[in-house]
Amino acid sequence: MFFIIKFDFSTISEKYTVAGNIPYYITSPIIAHLLGEIDDLANKNRAVIDDIILMVQEEVADRLSSNPGHKEYGYITAYVNAFYKVQKLFT
């Protein structure tokens, strides 16, 4: 079985969009892999990914699109928003 969290996206020579429907239990590890470790500013995956479009469970979408001060706002929210604009498109 192929796991996205082991794939080296930098092997693709052009910038591209990552899209998928990801399971709840592995959402954070997948997002962390796509964005790279927070202290790795030269992350090779981030360098080739233009956009990330993910279908996630509603609770995850609420967390990723929440604002500072909201109860769902947390580490993963700040981390993702540092690199991308998060939009909750539908429920």
Cα–Cα distance between 41 and 35 in angstroms, integer?
10
Total-model pTM: 0.80
42, 68 contact by CB (below 8 A): no
Give the closest residue to 86 by CA, choosing from 69, 62, 70. Answer: 62
As given in the structure block, the two tokens for residue 77 are 């929210």
pLDDT at 22: 92
pLDDT at 90: 83
- Mean pLDDT, consecutive 10-residue segments, the chain of 91 residues? 76 90 90 77 79 93 94 92 88 74
**Residue that has been written with the tokens 């429920």 in this structure:** 91
pLDDT at 41: 66
CA torsion sign for 4, 50, 37, 72 is negative
**Residue that has been written with the tokens 């929440």 in this structure:** 66
